Amino acid sequence: VRGAATDTMASDARGNSVSFYLNGKLKTIKSGQVSPRTTLLQYLREHTGLTGTKASCTQGGCGACNVTLSYTDRVSGKVAHRSVNACLRPVLSMDGMAVTTTEGIGSHRAGYHAVQERISGCNGAQCGFCTPGQVMALYSFLRDKGSDAITSQEIEARFDGNICRCTGYRPILTAATSFATEGASSFVEEIAGLAPKEFKPYDHSSEPAGPDLSALPAQPILFEGDDGTQWYKVFDKAEIADILSSRDSATARYVFGGTMAGVYAPDLESSTFIDISAIPELAQLSLDDHTLRVGAATSIADLSSLLAQHSSKSQSFEALHQHMNKIASFNVRNAGSWAGNLVMARNKNFASDMATILMGAGAHLSVLIDGNTADMSVEDWLWLPDLPANALILSLSLPVAGPDEFLFTFRQALRYVNAHALLNASFRATLDGSTIKSVSLAVGCAKEHAFFLDETQTFLIGKSVTDPATLSEALALLSKVQLEPELQYHSTIQPQGKDAYRASLLQVFFFKFLLKLAAQSGADIPATISEAAPAGPDAHQLPTVSGTQTWAPQQGLPEGHPGTKPATKPDAQQIAAGEAKYTDDVHNAPGTLFGAFACSKRAAATLTKADSSAAAAMPGVTMVIDAAALAGAGVPPESFCYSMVPGETPMFVAVGTSTLFQGQPVALVLAESRAEAEAAARVLEGGLEFEAAEHAGIFSMDEAKSANPERTGGIGFDPTPAKQGDVEAVWGDCATLVEGTCVIGGNNHFPMEKQSAYVIPGEGGEYTVYAATQMPDAVHTVVCIVLGVPKNKVSMIMKRAGGGFGAKLTGSFPTAMAAALASKFTGAPVKVQNTIGVDMQMGGNCRHPVSMDYKIGCDADGKIIAYSCDSHLDGGCGNDFSGFVAGEVRDNIEGPYCIPNLLSKVTVYKTNTASNTAVRGPGLAQAAACTEMAIDALAAKHGMDSSEMRFKNLMTPEESICITGGKLADNTVPQITEQLVEKAQFHERKQAVAAFNAEHKWKKRGIEYQPIRYNHTHAFGAGTTVQVNVNGSDGSVVVWHTGTEIGQGLNAKLVSAVSMYLGIPGSSVQVKEVNTSVLPNAMITGGSVMSECVVKAAGNACDILLERLAPVRQFMSDTDGTTLAANPMMSGGQFGALQATGPAGQEPTWEQLCCFSSGSFMPFDLHINLAAVGHYVNETRNNLDFVKAPLTPGATTCGFKVGHGLADYFSAGAGISEVEIDCLTGAKTIIRSDIIQDTGNSLNAQIDIGQSEGAFVQGLGYFLQEEVFIGADGTNNSPDTWEYKPCLAGDIPRTFNVELANLGAPKNELGLPYVAGSKAVGEPPYLMAVSALSAIRSAIRASRVERGLSAEFTLQQPATVDRIQQALEIDAAKELRLA
């Protein structure tokens, strides 16, 4: 403990400030400067200007806000360094500690840290928004380990709380595990086909010692907040009673790590916060032969480590340790205490693992109640009704298990870690041989609190674990246990939710428990069964990630091609160090106000009351803007709609009108701080009143299909079917015919950077708008409409966005429009950044949910004769990109297969959900999922291996007619498929999978391959403009462009291209932000093609420059340097350097050429214009002849006739995935994935490999685990990281092999190659992830057939754990056996 403190201290002895170190510098916060509710993240960003620590989910669920917290461990006396979520931790709890952010470990000025260098150098930063958090997670671990040996598995586990939406994690893990050595290490990254990259060695001893924490004062604190709240820091539990007696105890809250804020809304009710972390009694630890005692002020991570350290003392300790490592994430476990977890379990009915496992282990608690200490069981703590709210847990007593006592714990969640359990259990028994002497069975997440299975426990006493009757009768008892439904999972896609699955887990957990007990008793259990539950505690550890990355340009790149020198992003190191700025990082101008949306909590309901007076009266609030305020200011309602269709989606719901969807904004609250604006917005939301007519809303596809078309129509889309051949004429010729329905829910973009905008008013009615967007010109336009000014009065600026994937198309409109209007009303700069809850509610499903009715048939040989698909798309409440997405579904239904008879229909419906839009791989992802489901079903019914059927029906160069009527030019699908099948040893591994399945009953594997073809269009990227400016005096280059950098590496490709075209090093090229006042009409960045469009435009600009410079270059080459330098018209300045040009016939350097052409000091130089603008248009489309063609009946809203399609060219790829499923729980592991993408002449192989990996892993999320829960009343029950589960590092393939192939340049309709012969890469690998979905189906089928069930079944998507297990249709009473 730092310093010494007396047992009790009077209030006048308390300090009124907190002190801590921030990046090595002392910080002192005095009373009145912040609120006790102020988080460390808010303090860093708003009070210190350190914006490297990012605000993303602000729930502790994504890790973007990770920092290193250093403190003196009160047990060891050593300084510990732990990664924590700054978004959860109250800044006042930093007293006596040290905080380090990514800015504090390295920078451009001071030099970058090895962690920053390796993550950035390995292409571990794409959009980069998560990168500082990834850096600090790794840095914290390295600092804490010091000189201790580090394993790769330890390192990978430390990323269980860090989400990356772009990279697919592989490059991050590659960089991170390079530190997994003893002592100093160097690292060389090897990518086949690329030059190896060597990084400097890391030596832990070079890390700074850090500040002396013992020098900071250690005294009780009474801190008066700037909002009337109080923060106490106490050093003795006796102080607590004094505090509670002087304050309203009902509004008092104990604080240790602050992690409760990650689950529940920020606490606006409590006014007294008591920091108990410094009470010595709460940190005590002791262990004797019978009991381990642990103080309440012990983090979950420290308790887990303590249990592991003493695991030899008790079998139960290892079981508890392993289970605790699945609770939340390392970042949360480092901060949150085990006791706080139990408090949430009691007071909030929290879905606690800790309560269940401690209860099952027989733990007891020491609790302070009204000044007296009481001993009670965990069960009593949870269930006793009369415990006061201010009861304080002091310690935990955990019994040491006897030699014949065994504890096994279980849990199943929607994701392997950092996800709350759907059900958990803690089962403990004492054996006498094989007889159960005593048993306790605790179950959690089934009712209000964890509980014991009393009837089953009583039955088991005296029973033999090997007696078949013990299992069968216990399972019968368990089948009668009633679990409370989890209503948040009752969605329009899955109306019954996950209740049946959760109930089945109770029997599964017991079966596994009995298997483990049988093994402990020495019973001979067949290996095919015993592997379902290994004898020891489940280690919950995945194999570390491995794999290869290969660039294989078979034909080589043309001379002078931009891709010959692939490099990482030019700003990667700045991103890793937190120096790169995103929209919300832009420095706050004086007087900046912050806006927060107040949103409707009801859908399709009439807003009857929207009283904003309470919100307006809250501290810091300056204005509330709603529909009434707009009307009072004379703002036309139609000018304040954020749909692409005028008047379709009003920004604010007006009183007396109906809400379109739950999450629609009602008002914008402006305040002096973001926290104040968000708090007032929540108050306003709570006061909204609605009136809804019965059956007023349409929320599901079934409702939409059966409703009056007048209610569901209005989506701009030509419903003319696409067809080839005549399906109706050939159905009778099919040897096998299958019909079914593919239902897929939505899929949130989940960019790490949420929607954000900053509007600054200038002189003369001008405005500067910073916005994170993929549509700069569109944002420019809607903002000008709101402001009522011409576009030359507004500069729209965007440097980079923290992820896009379609989210920042129309989704970027509301924040920009609201910030602009607020700035107009107030005359102040206004920032608006959505919280994750607002962002995801306003986004809703995002990707269009679909219900696709298919019919498919083949001949006797398995050749598919006909395929029809009637697709129904949920468009949400507005048009958005629905017409485009519908066309992509319709026109790509056949995928890479040659099917002579095709029919594809699409209907789009309006529903009372948020408007759906384009998400990575729009339309094609849904089409691929349905087609592969249909092929799997057909193959199963036909009795044919599904992979064989895929091979048999691939398009070939001779047979490659698309449903749109055109031939697939440059069809490389068969070629790339053959390459992958051979390299991945597909056929050999398929035999090995079959052998594995024959030897395992409850674990099954599947392996499948997925060929893909993807159509690319420059329709949205055409019109791109690039301006290349050359500084004459030194030849350095500045590039402006109209694309947007959203993580896809556009700027990196642009640097490579310009440097190659001009013959200069990449370090001489600087890419600037998008600025509509420099280059207007910035089009859409999407469809994976903007990089090649800007490269083409840049090439055009460089051609202009080189043409201008050619005569000068020739003149200088023909003239010796001495003559040039002697010319009196060219004397002085930098022309002395011309002597170095040498004799005639030697070309000048680039710098000399530029200096001679337009040197800044030369009054008599040539004054050649060294600024050139290049423009790119699609020659086959962007002309009057093409524009005239669609002006005929049958044209779609996109301007293209049915049958013409959007494709300019196609790319090909293929993926193979091998998976393993636990048939009893539905848990899955992707053992290995191999993918190959044909990128043609890649513009940057380093970037393209990263794009391929990231797209594939994001596809895994969509097809396997990301689920949007829209309830029957339209409520989005998955608006944040608590229920929405993107892939984590542990979800990616354990072996991940990626290759870029070069199978030739794509050709356009004129037979000419597109941009430098490259092919787009950002979206095609997304579709390859279907290989994992098909492999899961294969594994399910293997189990079903083995158990005598039909090979035909339906697995809807995403293939979550519950859907996998339920598709297996296991009858527990009949099939769960020990022999």
pLDDT digits (tens, 9 = 90+) for 136-190: 999 999 999 998 999 999 999 999 999 999 999 999 999 999 998 754 456 788 8
Q: In what order do the strands lie in the sheet with 901-909?
A: 722-724, 901-909, 864-874, 850-858, 736-744
pLDDT score recorded for residue 467: 96
Contact 340, 295 (CB under 8 A): no
Tokens 């419906």 locate to 909
Percent of the chain whose predicted confidence (pLDDT) is above 90? 80
Provide the CA 603 distance to its chain's centre, in angstroms.
27
What's the mean per-residue pLDDT of the chain? 92
- Rounded to an integer, the average pLDDT of 810-830 is 97
Token pair belonging to 1016:
């690319």
pLDDT category, 311, cuts 50, 70, 90?
very high
**Percentage of residues in the chain with pLDDT exceeding 70?**
94
- Banded pLDDT at 133 (limits 50, 70, 90): very high
Q: Give the tokens for residue 597.
A: 């949306």
Alpha helices in 275-390 (DSSP H): 300-309, 315-324, 330-335, 338-347, 353-360, 378-383
DSSP-derived letter for residue 620 is T
What is the per-residue pLDDT for 1203? 37
How confident is the model over 685-691, as a mean pLDDT? 96
Which helix H or strand E contains 979, and what residues bound it? helix 973-983
> What is the structure's pLDDT at 1306?
72
Q: Which residue has the higher pLDDT, 552 or 1193?
A: 552
Residue 867: φ, ψ to 5°: -150, 125
Q: What is the pLDDT of residue 1198?
A: 35
Query: pLDDT for 9-45, tens place per residue?
Result: 445 578 999 999 999 999 999 999 999 999 999 999 9
Strands (E), 714-772: 722-724, 736-744, 756-761, 767-771
What backbone torsions phi and psi does residue 232 show, to the nearest 5 degrees? -110, 140
Question: Is the confidence at residue 1133, as pLDDT, over 80?
Answer: no
Check residue 167 and give its pLDDT.
98
Tokens 């009283």 locate to 611
Name the β-bridge partners of 1232.
1218, 1295
pLDDT of residue 189: 82
When mean pLDDT is compared over 10-24, 502-516, 684-698, the highest value belongs to 502-516
Helix, strand, coil shares, percent, the chain, to 5? 35, 20, 45
Q: Is the pLDDT of residue 1130 over 70?
A: no
With a cut of 80, say whether residue 1267 has pLDDT above it: yes
d(CA 284, CA 306): 12
Q: What is the pLDDT, as a whole number, of residue 1159?
A: 76
The pLDDT of residue 556:
74
Q: What is the pLDDT of residue 59?
A: 96
Give pLDDT tens digits for 417-472. 999 999 999 999 999 999 999 999 999 999 999 999 999 999 999 999 999 999 99
Sequence-separated (6 or more) residues with CB below 8 Å from residue 1185: none
Q: Distance from first CA to last CA of the chain, Å, rounded?
A: 57
Q: What is the pLDDT of residues 1195-1212, one digit of tens each?
A: 333 333 333 456 788 899
Residue 386 to residues 142, 342, 1104, Cα–Cα distance (Å): 46, 16, 82
Which residues are within 8 A (CB) of 702 and not within 5 positions of it... i.e. 6 or more apart? 492, 851
For 66, the token pair is: 């990770």
- Cβ atoms of residues 353 and 424 within 8 Å: yes
In sequence order, the 6+-apart residues with CB closer than 8 A to the CB of 1039 are 1026, 1027, 1028, 1029, 1054, 1055, 1058, 1069, 1070, 1071, 1072, 1098
Nearest partner of 515 among 442, 410, 424, 411, judged by Cα: 410
Predicted pLDDT of residue 1184: 77
pLDDT the model gives residue 1310: 44
Q: Where are the alpha helices (DSSP H) in 578-698?
A: 613-616, 627-632, 674-686
Q: What does the pLDDT look like over 1022-1073, one tens digit per residue? A: 889 999 999 998 999 999 999 999 999 999 999 999 999 999 999 999 999 9
The Cα 76–Cα 309 span in angstroms is 14
Q: Which amino acid makes up residue 603?
A: A
Residues 1206-1232, mean pLDDT to the nearest whole number: 93
pLDDT for 1146 equals 85
